[in-house]
A = this chain, B = another copy of it.
Amino acid sequence: MKNKECVAMLLAGGQGTRLKSLTKKIAKPAVYFGGKYRIIDFPLSNCTNSGIDTVGVLTQYEPLILNNYIGIGSSWDLDRSFGGVSVLPPYMQADGGGWYSGTANAIYRNMEFLDQYNPEHVLILSGDHIYKMDYNHMLEYHIAAEADATISVLEVPWSEASRFGIMNTNDEGRITEFDEKPEFPLSNLASMGVYIFKWDVLKRYLMEDEEKEDSSHDFGKDIIPALLNDNKKLNAYTFDGYWKDVGTVDSLWEANMDLLKEEPGLNLSDNKWRIYSKNPNQPAQYIASSATVRNALINEGCRIYGTVDTSVIFYGVQVAQGSVIKDSVIMPNVKIGKNVKIHRAIISEGSVIEDNSVVGDSSPDSQITLVAEEGSVMASSYATIIK
């Protein structure tokens, strides 16, 4: 029987409540980013580019859009005869079954899926981060070190270390301690939520954890501490590229703005590490004579008659004459009327902004305004919005 060296499990069940109404009807990994993508395009493209061709996507919250978006994975070249992408929703079994009660429980309930492929290693990913990473390098490191588990870490500024899960390591990179949001951090190596486990080791710990009544069945809170406690070999793998948690409206906005910097940390046009996504069918974008476009990412199907400055514009957006969009992210199929001013805002998919509206606050430290599906304006607002 064939087997797979490494199978990836992508945790995509989260609601992402801190993204507010952006995730009212869609799971967080389906949230838009970068003028064209959804967050989940990044881990899925990383898998494809790393040669990992078997990925389980664990869904639970509002999966309809995510299901349709993923399909059988052809957008990421993950439609494979043996392996490929499988969407794994919670399900009922003869003896019960039920919702996923934590990240570890979600994997536990899909042990049979994993056992089909009889993998040596399992890569655990989350659908919340924007980054390009070669998981194969990490896997090679994990195998060479003969580790039971390897956790990808990132050096964060010391001042911010207490906001993260911090790994304390010895000289060989072996993890000696895991501190969740320590008040006085001993290291600045923060966990990225990317783990590789030996499957036989993980499986045993998942089954044991399932028996513990007081467990929250979470990788960070339960599984990793249990492994450390048993003196298993846990290594830290240091990643040093661009990585961004886009869990809040502000950080999602920032990550979009990062793409417009002089030297962006994230290159979306690298042919050697393509970010794949499902491509909408739209005609070429049209920039009218009356338009002014400066420092912007604009996608197909847009028609720009006004001014776009330092903004990210998704497909199918219309900006009428006299309007000014600055420091903003405009999601797909938004219609912006005449003489509208939009500053420091995220306008969500399909919104219609009436003529002469003013959205957002241009002062540099102001909160980011979110215009969400049903016309609500979250922070500062003078807008009139009609859906």
Taking Cβ atoms with an 8 Å cutoff, the residues of A that contact B are 15, 23-25, 59-64, 67-68, 71-72, 74, 86-94, 97, 99, 112-113
Contacts and interface: CB of A to CB of B under 8 A. Distances in A.
Given A71-B72, A113-B64, A59 B91 contact: yes
28 contacts: A15-B92, A15-B94, A23-B94, A25-B94, A59-B89, A59-B91, A60-B91, A61-B92, A61-B93, A61-B97, A62-B91, A62-B93, A62-B97, A63-B89, A63-B91, A64-B88, A64-B112, A64-B113, A67-B86, A67-B88, A68-B86, A72-B72, A72-B74, A87-B87, A89-B89, A89-B90, A90-B90, A92-B99
Nearest to A15: B94
A113 B62 CA distance: 11
Contacts of A72: 71-72, 74
A22 to B, nearest CB: 11
Nearest to A87: B67
Q: Which 6 residue pairs are nearest across A and B when measured between Cβ atoms?
A: A89-B89, A72-B72, A61-B92, A71-B72, A63-B91, A24-B94
Contacts of A92: 15, 60-62, 99
Total identical chains: 2
Given A59-B89, A90-B90, 13 more contacts: A60-B91, A62-B91, A62-B92, A63-B91, A67-B87, A67-B88, A68-B86, A72-B72, A87-B87, A89-B89, A89-B90, A89-B91, A92-B99
A88 B63 CA distance: 9
Contacts of A87: 67, 87
A349 to B, nearest CB: 14
A23 B94 CA distance: 8
A64 B93 CA distance: 11
A220 B234 CA distance: 57
Nearest to A21: B94
Contacts of A68: 86
Contacts of A113: 64
A291 to B, nearest CB: 28
Nearest to A89: B89
A9 to B, nearest CB: 14
A243 B99 CA distance: 36
Contacts of A93: 61-62
Contacts of A74: 72
Contacts of A62: 91-94, 97
A5 B60 CA distance: 30
Contacts of A112: 64
